[in-house]
Structure 1
């Protein structure tokens, strides 16, 4: 179809309107393909807008505005709004959303909302991720404040910089073998997705974290927590995790 806009008796702009089954502009996952109405400039053939359903809503998304001065693209704004709407329907307290790109985001919630938002075994946040096609990292608002300027925990892991009285040495726990990458210290904890665990070195308390749905805790290198954990690893101390 062709749409002609007329302003004051003059042709202002002419659009071509076509329908395609495709992954909308700005999204990456192939399983997000859907019917998309593409509105293109008649003269240049350049796509200007896309219209499609996103999380049960019909949205109109400008194409190409992500290149203008680093501003959020249309799909980023919509994704951020939809994530916030989904999480607010679950959490009781304050919610903040930080979109890293069109496929990953961080959600900050009150500490007492963490388990509710994540769900048993990470099931609830996984449902939200599947509906939106976006990987979501859930953290506490307190953690956002405490890690500001020191690096942050990533990879769908919410880490609390908590401390216990000096000398606290709860015994037991599951021995783990942390892996140090360029950006993170990764602690694998299979079978405990969504659980809150205490991380210790030779039974000395280090911090508390919520295990990601991928079955691991990731701590960004450069943060105070990561430095303490790396020091324990370098000194040959046994790192253990204990479900709370």
Structure 2
């Protein structure tokens, strides 16, 4: 709906026009993904002068996400971060120990888990990991932590987890239709929502300075469960 309401965005800095963006929409496979069945409506935000795409906005696993396309070389792109988060989320749903994710290509990843979790993650005849691969459009190689050649990694829980910013503690408000997280001063920022330092989902702060999650969705139910368990809800930069 955004391009039908706003087709041009003007970014002003220090009282001067800094950048002008064109906003369009098309059905395509999002940048960085390759599986054709992942095609969906994608809002493209492109530099008016050069025509170079700067951002893509689309729905991924029931989340509306904004992915920057001009990340600096050598750092994880927005797509990489989203891919890692979604892989971690899927694997954590079946693994009991901590999980490390390494992206080896646009549609390939290695997942390191505890040896005792290998059978749970792969599933009978490889059925469970195949289902996860189909949902994400990414080929996943499951290995144990002992096979990880790197001393570090991005652990999602347990010992050896990567140290991340503590984040801003928030108190979500539950209304009749939404779970609302107030984020004044962070308009337009893409952030991670965590419960007791464990990743829940990624979202972009609206122009109204909040994040609204429709009640009844899987994300809202997970967040409400965390609130009921009195877990600490924090917001950290994505």
TM-score (norm 1): 0.56
Conserved 8 A contact 1:4-1:11: yes
Deviations 1:57-112 (A, max 9, x none): 221111142xx332222111110111111111210011111110120000011111
* Matches for 1:105-116 after TM superposition, within 5 Å: 105-116=109-120
Query: 2:139 aligned to 135, 140, 149, which one?
Result: 135
Query: 1:97 aligned to 95, 101, 105, which one?
Result: 101
Deviations 1:125-158 (A, max 9, x none): 11111111100011111233xx77xxxxxxxxxx
Aligned to 1:85: 89
Computed over aligned residues only, the root mean square deviation of the Cα atoms, in angstroms, reads 1.8
Query: 1:122 aligned to 108, 121, 126, which one?
Result: 126
* Matches for 1:144-223 after TM superposition, within 5 Å: 144=148
The Cα shift of 1:37 comes to 0.3
Query: 1:76 aligned to 59, 75, 80, which one?
Result: 80
Matched, 1:5 2:11: yes
Question: Using the alignment, how far apart are the partners of 1:104 and 1:139 within structure 2?
Answer: 14
Aligned to 1:17: 23
Deviations 1:194-217 (A, max 9, x none): xxxxxxxxxxxxxxxxxxxxxxxx
Aligned to 2:62: 56
Question: Using the alignment, how far apart are the partners of 2:63 and 2:111 within structure 1?
Answer: 21
Count of matched residue positions in the alignment of Structure 1 and Structure 2: 145
Structure 2 residue ranges without an equivalent (≥5): 1-6, 151-238
Question: Using the alignment, how far apart are the partners of 2:85 and 2:29 within structure 1?
Answer: 20
Conserved 8 A contact 1:109-1:140: yes
**DSSP 3-state at the match of 1:94:** coil
**DSSP 3-state at the match of 1:26:** coil
Question: Using the alignment, how far apart are the partners of 1:124 and 1:7 within structure 2?
Answer: 50
- Deviant stretches of 4+, over 4 Å: none
User: Larger C-alpha radius of gyration, 1 or 2?
Assistant: 1
Query: 1:42 aligned to 48, 52, 72, which one?
Result: 48
The Cα shift of 1:13 comes to 1.7
